[in-house]
Amino acid sequence: MLTDKAGKDAYEASTTGISAENPRRTGGNLVQLISANGERISHPEFDLWVSDVTDEQLCSLYEDMTVIRRIDAESTALQRQGELALWPPLLGQEASQIGSARALRDDDFVFPSYRDNGVAYCRGVDPLDMVRAWRGNASFGWDPYRYNIATQQIMIGSQTLHATGYAMGIQNDGADSAAVAYFGDGATSEGDVNEAMVFAASFQAPVVFICQNNHWAISEPVRLQSHIQIADRALGFGIPSIRVDGNDVLAVMAVTRIALDRARKGGGPTFIEAVTYRMGPHTTADDPTRYRDANELEDWRAKDPIARLKTLLLTKGLLTDEAEARVRAKADEVANKLRSGCVNMPDPAPLDLFNHVYSTPNSWIERQKDHYSRYLESFSGSTQEGAL
């Protein structure tokens, strides 16, 4: 279990090698249980937290990552073909999302960013619901309380405040569930994230902050915005932190379980830095070739999260040709259903714009709705459903 002492020890270890001449952190141990070439690494302190993961569950994690990569590729293609207005690819970050999400309980509540579709998939969200807002057919994709995951946050870092507030509510209720916030390395430079950590530390809220350090905050490298490792920022707030290989699904699961256990037992917040890489663009409106070295991308392709788990499964004799075919068939089935549902998604009625703005009736909204309705009716032969 990660304790306050563990956080203190991590801080003391992290200061090694820092001097006035060399103030930047250049190393730092990553928790890793599966190497980049697919070898299982023994780490007694963390092996304990995944000792119950069976061979069947390892194969299931492989399927999850394969399916969500296929969903991501299909959604990217749909945007390129004009079916979606925009799409934020998660290519390369599958392990950090799947490994952490599969560690959660059903009663934990997740606050994701716009890129965390792998987390939404693990919570049971229909892939079609992931693209509704990006198609412009809805202002949100799913019912947060059905899946215990909030709708995706576009404002950078704001979801950390929401997660901390929710976690404080968990404390007031006397429950042992946890709130989990996902965000990128760029978000750690936002005021919202820092304010969230102040409150989380002050009230020892049961919240887990999961920073997916994908090395690029749009077009700015992480080394520009932080001269120390991202995880070290949390220590300044009194929050224990841990760095994990974000392309290692098993290691991510282990550290997330540790953080959740700490939260459930009243130990307060934990900050996880999952070191991964965004292999695609920031969004489909971005061109990463303008700011990123191609050699850097190739270096990270060699650390691909799906490929390394596949190698491990092949070594263990778990991924037969039949099993691989089933995974591919599942991925194709999900992608085909997503494409069909997206292309044939009905357009919303004009007055749907006023739905779900407030949870209870609101006279201000009703007045606008009435005015707009009468405006639509002013067009001869038009209907509310077809006027636009």
Q: Is 162 a catalytic residue?
A: no
Please check whether residue 276 is in contact with residue 214, taking contact to mean a CB–CB distance below 8 angstroms.
Answer: yes
Q: How far is CA 25 from CA 29, 126, 292, in A?
A: 11, 41, 22
Q: Is 278 a catalytic residue?
A: yes
**C-alpha span between 12 and 16 (Å, rounded):** 7
Q: Is 282 a catalytic residue?
A: yes
One of 132, 233, 262, 282 is an active-site residue; which one? 282
One of 70, 115, 278, 308 is an active-site residue; which one? 278
Phi, psi of 167 (to 5 degrees): -60, -35
The neighbour count for residue 323, using CB atoms within 10 Å, is 14
Name the token pair of 134: 């990006």
DSSP of 299-349: HHHTT-HHHHHHHHHHHTT---HHHHHHHHHHHHHHHHHHHHHHHTPPPPP
**C-alpha span between 152 and 135 (Å, rounded):** 14
Name the token pair of 314: 């092949």
One of 291, 356, 367, 375 is an active-site residue; which one? 291
Alpha helices in 102-248 (DSSP H): 117-122, 127-135, 144-147, 158-173, 191-203, 222-225, 230-235
Catalytic residues, which ones?
A: 278, 282, 291
